[in-house]
Structure 1
Amino acid sequence: MRIRSALVALTVAGAGVVGLAAPANAATNTCNPSHFCLFYNSNIQNAYYPFWDNVADFSGYTFKGAGDGAGQAVKNNAASAQNLQTGLVARVYYNSNYGGVYDNVQPTSWRNLSNTYNNNASFKWLWA
């Protein structure tokens, strides 16, 4: 009886570990070199949008790729960002036309947005 109980406990515990391996909605979307990408979720996860040039208003842009956020508007929906440019800082603004509070994403890095988390409307390159 004890052996059977132990086997049941191990089976249940094993099922829990397997369930933690990868969320069903996880997607491996990656930002292209020399681009700046906004991601729908924190920790550069799920759908994203790659930018090359400054954008004064995110209206009309929608997240690409797979997973959560695919097809959703970029404006006021980004949670994290990745900058794969060297020598340029990517600045995400709260308002359209480069206004309001902002978050900087340093060259060749990523971060979760704080000042513009799910409240972002424009982006501009700045010299590092």
Structure 2
Amino acid sequence: MNTRTFRRAALSMTSVGALVAGLALFSGAAQAGAAEPVTIYYKVGNTNNYTDALEVYYNSNNAGAVALFTGNVPNYAGYTSGSNYYTYIFDTDTAYSGHGQAVKNNVASVSNESSTHDFRVYYNSGYAGPSQLIPETGSSGSATNLNSTLKNENASQKAIAANG
């Protein structure tokens, strides 16, 4: 696994949802009107103690800002929950290029940190279009540069059984 020290998002999605709901209630009460949809920029964190995840990097050779995802991600842009939209962004540590940028269509390389799953990165949202298999590495964290079709043109990922 990469030896850089990473911070992990401090709030769980449940905590973020509760915070957003509270803010929406406060906003609605203060304005005495319907709550406006809220866009939340969700920093996808990383930690050296996390396994079974795909680390995605802003630059080739696992360089630059990083985001970490576990399991299936149907859209690297983010997702909607209620009237709120969560946008996935790279880690906000300003020491790395790409910090704070949207993840969708900005991934150049990946590292499969799983010892049980392969991952497939897709060109389109919803696991569609050209794709590239990222085999499990036994948590070794080796860099895989995305092919020329997918580099900075990527929209989703799917976890699949190793060697599948």
TM-score (norm: length of structure 1): 0.73
Q: Compare CA radii of gyration and give the structure with the larger one.
A: 1
What residue is the counterpart of 1:40 in the other structure?
58
CA distance in structure 1 between the aligned counterparts of 2:131 and 2:160, rounded to whole angstroms: 13
Retained in 2: the 8 A contact 1:34–1:52? yes
What residue is the counterpart of 1:53 in the other structure?
71
What residue is the counterpart of 1:119 in the other structure?
153
Question: CA 1:29–1:40 in structure 2 vs 1: closer, same or farther (change >3 Å)?
Answer: farther
Retained in 1: the 8 A contact 2:55–2:67? yes
Retained in 2: the 8 A contact 1:46–1:65? no
Question: CA 1:38–1:69 in structure 2 vs 1: closer, same or farther (change >3 Å)?
Answer: same
Question: CA 1:65–1:34 in structure 2 vs 1: closer, same or farther (change >3 Å)?
Answer: farther
Q: Which consecutive segments of 4 or more residues in structure 1 shift more than 4 A?
A: none
Q: Please state how far the C-alpha of 1:65 moved relative to its aligned partner.
A: 4.8
Give the secondary structure class of the aligned counterpart of 1:61: strand
CA distance in structure 2 between the aligned counterparts of 1:49 and 1:82, rounded to whole angstroms: 11
Unaligned stretches of 5+ residues in structure 1? 1-27
What is the RMSD computed on CA atoms of the aligned residues?
1.6
- How many residues are paired up? 101
1:64 partnered with 2:91: yes
Unaligned stretches of 5+ residues in structure 2? 7-45, 78-86
CA distance in structure 2 between the aligned counterparts of 1:62 and 1:106, rounded to whole angstroms: 24
What residue is the counterpart of 2:129 in the other structure?
100
Q: 2:108 is matched by which residue type in structure 1?
A: A
Question: CA 1:111–1:29 in structure 2 vs 1: closer, same or farther (change >3 Å)?
Answer: farther
Q: 2:150 is matched by which residue type in structure 1?
A: T
